[in-house]
Amino acid sequence: MKDPRIEKLADLLVNYSVEVQPKQKVLIHGEGGGEPLMMAVFDKCLQKGAYPFILRYPYNWYDSIFRYGSPDMYEKLLEQLKQMVATYDVRIRILGEENTKELSKFNPEHVAKFYAVSGKISRIMLEREAKGEMKWVLSLFPTQAYAQDANMSLIDYEDFVYNACMPDPKHPIDYWKKVAVRQAKIIDWLKGKEKVHITAQETDLTLSIKGRPFANCACTANVPDGEIFTSPVEDSAEGHVFFSYPTLYEGFEVTGVRLWFEKGRVIKATAQKNEEFLHKKLDTDAGSRSLGEFAIGTNAGIQQFTGQILFDEKIGGSFHMALGHGYPETKSQNESVIHWDMICDLRQGGKILVDDELFYQNGRFMIDY
């Protein structure tokens, strides 16, 4: 029997997140495990009078690319996707992996080159979005692989996913509109502020947000959502930070990450697991050692680490930062092919001061908003 929550999530994506309009060209793409949600989105788009197209990555698609392909082929392999992103009106990406570890056995340099090509395509999308030419959204369909990563049964993980995406199952769109209003008040308080000082376990870091607006994330680009973020001034980060959760990137799990910053750049980095991979990513390009994002997670319905960044970066009571490229809407000037989010829990003694005023403590906003 088809889970009715799939239809509700598809409705949220199509009619709220990207507001599909008649005659728009809509790209729906993702791994084969996400097919039920992709088809529900496809149906909703047709009902709106739009022209949807599904690009479904079959089982072992990534495996075949790295097993039989070579880096000089990656640009051509993704050429059609690039053309679609450059010309379609809407992009709906559905994560539906059935094996989240399949890339870990391949040459990490080849994997990095593939994602560098993919990253260039994402930049096209972001630039078109900034010009008002395209809308996009990223969501996830619960698969057995994601459930295993989260140490849950599939049934429990399905409940977790749908509850995080639609805390009010009867009126999910109204719920996220209210979240947007609440977060807008926090962002209004931050306008004109300059200095951020974060302290937590093994963390003492300062950065500047002068002239950098915050984005209000309430399910218009990610589903689930619940965060506010900006791009730090590129040469401003000073101090050190310990990321309390594992971080997963390009199929590699890196744990116990510690970073030291001077003048906005990582000058030292250590990890308890896969430290060599961390160092290689830091040397990807000129912008990979600088920050493209600083964010605070606000989704109270996400309280545990699951190994899926789409959810983990929204954990209520956490903050995260991303090495690499930032987003045009927050005036980021950092250019890189990577965007690597790393998360720190603030619920046990964490604190954020903004212009020396207590802004956030133990996972809660301390300002009057």
- Kindly indicate the confidence band of residue 1, based on its pLDDT and cuts at 50, 70 and 90: confident
Burial of 33 (0-12, 13-18, 19+ CB in 10 A): buried
pLDDT exceeds 90 at position 59: no
- C-beta of residue 15 within 8 angstroms of C-beta of residue 7: no
**Three-class secondary structure assignment of 223-241:** CCCCEEEECCCCCCCEEEE
- For 32, the domain range is 4-165
Domain boundary among 142, 165, 188: 165
Count of domains in the chain?
2
pLDDT of residue 248: 86
How buried is 222 (Cβ within 10 angstroms: 0-12 exposed, 13-18 middle, 19+ buried)?
Answer: buried
pTM, entire model: 0.91
What percent of the chain lies above the pLDDT cut of 70?
Answer: 100
Structure confidence at residue 102 (pLDDT): 87
Q: Are residues 103 and 51 in the same domain?
A: yes
The answer to whether 199 and 348 are in contact (CB under 8 A) is no
Over residues 284-306, the pLDDT tens digits come to 999 999 999 999 999 988 999 99
Query: Residues 22, 148: one domain?
Result: yes
Whether 283 and 319 share a structural domain: yes
> Are 36 and 126 members of one domain?
yes
Q: What is the pLDDT of residue 104?
A: 82
The residue among 225, 288, 228, 229 whose CA lies nearest residue 259 is: 288
Q: Give the per-residue pLDDT at 369.
A: 77
pLDDT at 28: 98
**Both tokens of residue 30?**
């993702």
The answer to whether residues 130 and 182 belong to one domain is: no
Same domain? For 11 and 121 the reply is yes
What per-residue confidence (pLDDT) applies to 185? 97
157 and 17 together in one domain: yes
Task: Quote the CA–CA distance of 166 and 12 in Å, as a whole number.
Answer: 9
* C-alpha–C-alpha distance, residues 326 and 132, integer Å: 18
Residues 136 and 249 in one domain: no
Q: Do 257 and 220 reside in the same domain of the chain?
A: yes
Residues 113 and 193 in one domain: no
Residue 125: pLDDT band (50, 70, 90) is very high
Q: Is the dihedral of CA 87, 92, 98, 104 positive or negative?
A: positive
Among the candidates 165, 182, 205, a domain finishes at: 165
Whichever domain contains 48, its CATH number is: 3.40.1830.10
pLDDT band at 108 (very low <50, low <70, confident <90, very high): confident
**Residue 158 and residue 217 in one domain:** no
User: Are 231 and 352 found together in one domain?
Assistant: yes
Tell which of 134, 165, 196 closes a domain.
165
